[in-house]
Every structure is written in C-alpha cells, then in structure tokens.
Amino acid sequence: MQQDAIGRSNLSSSSGGQLEGNLNGREGNETRPASFAKNPYEQKPALLKVLVIEDEENIIELIKLGLRYEGFQVEAVSDGQEGLSTAQRISPDIIILDLGLPPGSIDGLEVCRRLRINPTTQDVPVLMLTAKGEVEDRVAGLKTGADDYLTKPFSFEELVARIHAILRRQRRSSDSLQGDGVNEREGQVLQFGDLRLNLTTREVTRTGRLIELTATEYNLLHLFMSHPRQVLDRQTILNKVWGYDFLGETNIIEVYVRYLREKIEDSPSTPRLIQTVRGVGYVLKG
C-alpha cells in the first residue's frame, strides 16, 4: 500500500465518526436522497453503481457510508483480481481504484490497463486514488487510462464533486453520440487534414492509421476538432473536457495535450497540429 497516513486524512476515523453522526442526525429530520421514492407505488430510479477497489478497510467503510447517503449503490473489494471480475459482473457507472493495492495482488495500474482492454469495462470511468505528492504515479495512472485522480489524504466533499464531474462528462460524451447537430454533418465524421474522428465508432485515424485514445484523450481531441483554427483558452478546455467544477491541478491540460501530441503528431516536440498559444491555451491548425 502506498503512503496513506489515514490519521492525517480528512477521511480519518475521527472525521468518519463525525460524518456518520451527521448522517444519523439528518436521517431523523430530513428526507432521504431523491433516489428513494416517497410513494411506495412510485417506481424508484436505478441507483448509480460505484465500485471501490481499495484495501484500506476504514477508507472503504467511510466511502461506502457517504456515497450510499448520497444516493449511490456501492460495492467494494480489496483485491485487484477480484475488482476486475466484479467490474465485469456488475457493470459499474464509475470505479474508484487505489493505485497502491497490497503485495500479492495486481497493482492499480495493471487493473486499469485490463479494464481498458476489456470490451465490457473499457468505457467505465476510473477515478484513481494515489499517494500524496507522487507526480509520476499520477501521470502513469492518467496515461494508463484513468479519467481523473485524487491524492490522499482527501476530503469526502472533493471525492463526491469529482465523481459528479466525471459522470457529467460521461453523459455529455454519450449525448453527443445520440446526435446533437454536430454529429449529423459529414456522415458523423470530423476531419482536419488527414486526421479523422468518427463520432459513431469513436475511432480516430491519421492517414488511415488507427490511433488508440483513452476516453479523456478522445474528448479533448473532439473538442479541438469541433473548433478548428479557434484558440481555446484553458478555462474553456477545463469546462468542456473535465467539467465545470473540476478541482484538479490545472497542469492536467498540459499532460493530456502532450499525450495527444505523442499519438497524432509526426514530431511531438515540434507539434504542427495542436499548437500552444502562450498565455492563453491551444489551437488546432495545420
């Protein structure tokens, strides 16, 4: 397990007791979340499913308690291999994955890789938990296919905000495939020079060569190709790709632009397609 001084965490036993006390106190004088219908004959909406793959029992219990109160269905496992089989079985809406799973288990990076190559789980968003301050681990997680990361210790409020932001991005991406006007032109294909993005199959090619992208890389490229030769400032990119209440470090844009350049540019160090507009943001131009 990577460093996780749970005593220092906002999700510590003391704050957990406070959270639990708050929840118990609220149950007496507040209605339950909207997921619980008041009318016994009213059909209850399906709860969003969260799979937690984490080996720290106290963190698991606190996340389960809080997210269930927020109206989520939560299932938790402490082993990477079990996490993969559970993800296949329950088809969660989002996975919270600890990078530092215990020795004897496959680690978080390998779990993420396998999730991304499995047709059943390849599009399930992943929020990765990492040790505080280990930048290379965060970068490795994002590069492997995680959609976002949260460093320990963290607050429960931030965890919930990130989950909602990720799910909102997922819905926007799904809605765009249903047809929103942009998709209807050019046979649902965006093209810029020899770079093509198929909105129906989510396939990206350049000069006929298939380019494998993660979900976030695809969403970022989709944004650029929907606004060719238009300078996009950093806040616009954060809002459109990561969500309006994204709470992460803003250098995540640079990280993902670098990933895209490595995959679509002839010379990533001297990019021709995605160009930096210093002090502003980025622009897709030839």
The whole-number pLDDT of residue 112 equals 93
Give the separation between CA 90 and CA 49, rounded to whole angstroms: 8
pLDDT at 250 (0 to 100): 63
Question: Torsions phi, psi of 149, nearest 5?
Answer: -140, 160
Polymer length of the chain? 286
Percent of the chain with pLDDT over 70: 74
The DSSP 8-state label assigned to residue 239 in this structure reads I
Query: Which of 248, 255, 263 is CA-nearest to residue 282?
Result: 255
pLDDT of 86 reads 94
Residue 236's contacts (CB-CB under 8 Å, 6 or more residues apart) are 281
Largest interatomic CA distance in the chain: 63
- Yes or no: say if 73 and 47 are a contact pair by the CB < 8 Å rule: yes
Token pair for residue 14? 């003391």
How many Å apart are CA 137 and CA 193, to the nearest integer?
Answer: 35
For residue 245, pLDDT beyond 70:
no
Q: How does DSSP assign 125-170, residue by residue? A: -EEEEE-TT-HHHHHHHHHHT-SEEEESS--HHHHHHHHHHHHHHH
Question: What whole-number distance in Å separates Cα of residue 248 and Cα of residue 24?
Answer: 31
Average pLDDT over all residues of the chain: 79
Distance CA 135, CA 124 (A): 24
Cα 191 to Cα 210: distance, rounded to the nearest angstrom: 14
Average confidence (pLDDT) over 159-180:
72
3-state secondary structure of 26: helix
Q: Which of 21-35, 143-157, 183-197 comes out lowest in average pLDDT? A: 21-35
Type of residue at 81: Q
Local confidence band at 14 (pLDDT 50, 70, 90 cut-offs):
very low
pTM of the model: 0.59
Higher confidence at residue 169 or residue 112?
Answer: 112
DSSP state of 36: S
Mean pLDDT of 81-109: 90
Average pLDDT over residues 144-153: 86
Give the number of other Cβ atoms within 10 Å of residue 20's Cβ.
15
**Amino acid at site 55:** D
Nearest by Cα to 201 from 185, 211, 189: 189
pLDDT value, residue 240 = 84
Q: 37-41, 131-135, 147-151: which range is least confident on average?
A: 37-41
pLDDT in tens, 106-123: 899 999 999 988 888 888
Q: In this predicted model, what pLDDT tens digit does every residue of 34-54 receive, in sequence order?
A: 444 445 444 445 688 999 999
Q: Which residue has the higher pLDDT, 214 or 135?
A: 214
Q: What is the pLDDT of residue 140?
A: 82
Retrieve residue 258's tokens: 């670098």
Per-residue pLDDT at 47:
83
179-218 pLDDT per residue, tens: 443 443 445 889 999 999 998 888 899 988 999 888 888 8
Instruction: Give the mean model confidence (pLDDT) for residues 145-167.
Output: 88
Q: What is the pLDDT of residue 34?
A: 41
**pLDDT tier, 249 (very low <50, low <70, confident <90, very high otherwise):** low
pLDDT of residue 105: 77
Average pLDDT over residues 54-58: 91
CA-CA distances (angstroms) from residue 202 to 75, 186, 219?
A: 30, 15, 10
Q: What is the 8-class DSSP label of residue 186?
A: G
| 3-state class (DSSP) for residue 4 | coil
CB burial of 110-125 (b: ≥16 within 10 Å; e: otherwise) equals ebbebbbeeeebeebb
CB 98 within 8 A of CB 108: yes
pLDDT at 23 over 50: no
Residue type for position 88: Q
